C-alpha cells in the first residue's frame, strides 16, 4: 500500500490494488499516522468483501439460479415470489442478463428498456435491485449500486356509476352462465362500495367475519398492519351478501373448487371481456373501483382520517394518491360572492 501527498492537497492519499482492481483516494487526514490508520481501514474493508481465492466472474444469468432458489425457499409472500419471477422474465430479455454481477452499475440499469408501462419496468428494476443486494449479502460484490426507478403516474380512472352500468351491460352481452354473471356483478359492486383490495381482502372474505347486526366486514389480514380493520356495509352490500351467503354460517363468501385455496382468486378474464363489450378503455381495471371509493367517501364526508381507516392506509400521502381534486367544489368557492353583474356578463 502506498501513502502519498498530492502537490495541491493537504491530505494524504492511499493507493493499493486488490485482485487486479486499483483503489485510490484521499484519507481526509493531514497527519501521516492518522492517514495510515484510515488507509489501513479502507484496505481491511476491501479485503473483507473480497474472496481471497480467485474465482470465475459470475454473470447475472448464472447468479439467477441461486437467487430464484432463495425466492422459492424464503419466507416471502406468494405474491412477492411471483413479482420477482416476473421481474427476472423481463430482465432475461435484456443485455444485462449476460453482464457480470460486479460490473452492473446504476448507469447500466438506467439504459435498460422494457415493454409496457413504467410499473412494468419498475418490476424488473426492483428485481434487479433485490438481486444485487443479495449478491452483496453473499459477498459476491462489494456494494450494490443504486438503482433508480422510473416515475409512475397514479391511477386517474375511476370505476364510477357510469362505468359500473356499462360494465354490467357488457357482461350481460357476454355468453356467460347466470352464476358467472352474478359473481362478476357482486364483486364489482363490493369493490365499489367497500374499497377493499381485491386479491388480498375481497376474494378471501369469510362469512365468519361478517357482522350482520352492525353491518360490518372484518378484514383479518391485509397488505399492511393498518389493513386489519372494519369496513362498513352499504345497504346494497348488505343485501348482496345476505343473498349470496344464504343460510351458511361459515366458509368462503366466494368459494371455488378449481384453485387449491378454495376461493375465487381472480376475475381478470371476465373483467377484460365485459370491458371490451362495454367499449371502456384498457386502463380501467377492477382496482379503479377502490380509487372511486376513496374519492366518493372523501368528497361526501371531508374526513380523510376516516377514509384512511376504512381503506387500510398507513399514511396521508398514500391515501391522497386515490383522491381526485373536486373541481366543482373549487369552482363553487371561486364563484361564491362574485358580483352579480360580473356573473351575468360571464353568462
Note down the domain range covering 283.
161-328
Residue 132 sits in the same domain as residue 186: no
Q: What is the pLDDT of residue 140?
A: 84
Q: What is the pLDDT of residue 1?
A: 79
Residue 166 sits in the same domain as residue 278: yes
User: Per residue in 274-283, pLDDT tens?
Assistant: 999 999 998 8
Instruction: Confirm if 241 and 251 have CB atoms less than 8 A apart.
Output: no
Residue 317 sits in the same domain as residue 183: yes
- Residue 231 exposed, middle or buried by CB count within 10 Å (0-12, 13-18, 19+): buried
Cβ neighbours around 12 below 10 Å, total: 22
Q: What is the pLDDT of residue 67?
A: 94
Residue 201 sits in the same domain as residue 278: yes
Question: What residue has cell string 386502463?
Answer: 283
Residue 173 sits in the same domain as residue 319: yes
Query: How many domains are contained in the chain?
Result: 3
Instruction: Confirm if 20 and 49 have CB atoms less than 8 A apart.
Output: no
Q: What is the pLDDT of residue 337?
A: 56
Does the structure show a pLDDT above 90 at 84?
A: yes
Q: What is the pLDDT of residue 7?
A: 86
Does the structure show a pLDDT above 50 at 342?
A: no
User: Per residue in 218-234, pLDDT tens?
Assistant: 999 877 777 789 999 99
Residue 110 sits in the same domain as residue 200: no
DSSP string, 17-63: EETTEEEEEE---SSHHHHHHHHHHHHHHHHHTS-SS--PPPBHHHH
Whether residue 151 lies inside any domain: the answer is no
Nearest 5°: the CA angle 269, 275, 280 is: 150
What is the pTM for the complete model shown?
0.61
Residue 233 sits in the same domain as residue 259: yes
Whether residue 55 lies inside any domain: the answer is no
Does the structure show a pLDDT above 60 at 241?
A: yes
Whether residue 345 lies inside any domain: the answer is no
Residue 35 sits in the same domain as residue 81: no
Q: What is the pLDDT of residue 54?
A: 42
Whether residue 153 lies inside any domain: the answer is no
Residue 101 sits in the same domain as residue 179: no
Q: What is the pLDDT of residue 156?
A: 66
Q: What is the pLDDT of residue 215?
A: 95
d(CA 130, CA 133): 5
What is the average pLDDT across 302-326? Answer: 68
Residue 132 sits in the same domain as residue 257: no
Whether residue 322 lies inside any domain: the answer is yes
Q: What is the pLDDT of residue 319?
A: 56
Identify the residue with better confidence: 316 or 198. Answer: 198
Q: What is the pLDDT of residue 344?
A: 55
Residue 34 sits in the same domain as residue 169: no
- Angle between helix axes 268-278 and 161-173 (nearest 10 degrees) is 100
What is the average pLDDT across 87-116? Answer: 91
Kindly report the CATH number assigned to the domain that includes residue 259: 1.10.443.10
Whether residue 272 lies inside any domain: the answer is yes
Q: What is the pLDDT of residue 53?
A: 40
Rg of the chain's alpha carbons, rounded to an integer? Answer: 29
Q: What is the pLDDT of residue 65?
A: 92
What is the average pLDDT across 125-135? Answer: 94
Whether residue 148 lies inside any domain: the answer is no
Q: What is the pLDDT of residue 51?
A: 47
Whether residue 66 lies inside any domain: the answer is yes
Chain centroid, CA 179 distance in Å:
32
Q: What is the pLDDT of residue 46?
A: 74
Residue 74 sits in the same domain as residue 171: no
User: Per residue in 11-56, pLDDT tens?
Assistant: 998 888 876 677 888 888 889 889 888 888 888 877 776 544 445 5
Instruction: Give the three-class secondary structure for 105.
Output: coil
Amino acid at each position: 500500500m502506498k501513502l502519498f501527498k498530492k502537490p495541491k492537497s493537504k491530505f494524504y492519499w492511499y493507493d493499493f490494488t486488490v485482485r487486479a482492481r486499483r483503489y485510490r483516494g484521499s484519507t481526509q487526514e493531514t497527519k501521516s499516522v492518522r492517514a495510515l490508520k484510515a488507509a489501513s481501514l479502507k484496505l481491511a474493508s476491501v479485503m473483507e468483501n473480497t474472496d481471497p481465492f480467485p474465482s470465475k466472474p459470475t454473470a447475472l444469468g448464472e447468479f439467477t439460479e441461486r437467487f430464484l432458489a432463495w425466492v422459492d425457499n424464503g419466507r416471502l409472500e406468494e405474491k412477492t415470489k411471483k413479482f420477482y419471477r416476473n421481474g427476472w422474465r423481463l430482465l432475461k430479455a435484456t443485455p444485462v442478463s449476460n453482464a457480470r454481477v460486479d460490473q452492473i452499475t446504476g448507469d447500466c440499469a438506467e439504459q435498460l428498456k422494457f415493454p409496457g408501462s413504467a410499473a412494468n419496468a419498475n418490476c424488473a428494476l426492483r428485481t434487479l435491485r433485490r438481486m444485487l443486494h443479495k449478491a452483496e449479502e453473499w459477498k459476491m460484490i462489494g456494494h450494490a449500486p443504486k438503482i433508480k426507478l422510473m416515475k409512475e403516474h397514479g391511477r386517474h380512472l375511476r370505476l364510477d356509476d357510469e362505468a359500473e352500468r356499462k360494465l354490467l351491460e357488457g357482461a350481460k352481452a357476454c355468453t356467460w352462465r347466470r352464476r358467472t354473471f352474478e359473481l362478476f356483478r357482486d364483486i364489482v359492486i363490493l369493490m365499489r362500495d367497500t374499497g377493499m383490495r381485491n386479491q388480498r381482502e375481497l376474494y378471501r372474505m369469510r362469512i365468519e367475519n361478517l357482522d350482520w347486526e352492525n353491518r360490518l366486514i372484518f378484514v383479518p389480514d391485509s397488505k399492511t398492519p393498518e389493513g386489519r380493520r372494519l369496513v362498513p356495509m352499504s345497504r346494497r352490500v348488505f343485501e348482496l351478501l345476505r343473498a349470496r351467503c344464504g343460510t351458511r354460517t361459515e366458509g368462503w363468501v366466494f368459494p371455488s373448487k378449481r384453485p387449491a385455496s378454495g376461493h375465487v382468486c381472480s376475475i381478470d378474464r371476465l373483467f377484460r371481456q365485459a370491458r371490451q363489450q362495454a367499449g371502456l378503455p384498457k386502463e380501467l381495471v377492477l382496482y379503479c373501483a377502490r380509487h372511486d371509493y376513496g374519492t366518493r367517501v372523501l368528497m361526501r364526508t371531508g374526513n380523510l382520517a376516516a377514509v384512511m381507516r376504512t381503506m387500510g392506509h398507513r399514511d396521508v400521502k398514500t391515501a391522497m394518491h386515490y383522491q381526485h381534486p373536486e373541481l366543482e367544489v373549487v369552482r363553487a368557492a371561486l364563484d361564491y360572492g362574485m358580483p352579480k353583474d360580473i356573473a351575468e356578463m360571464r353568462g
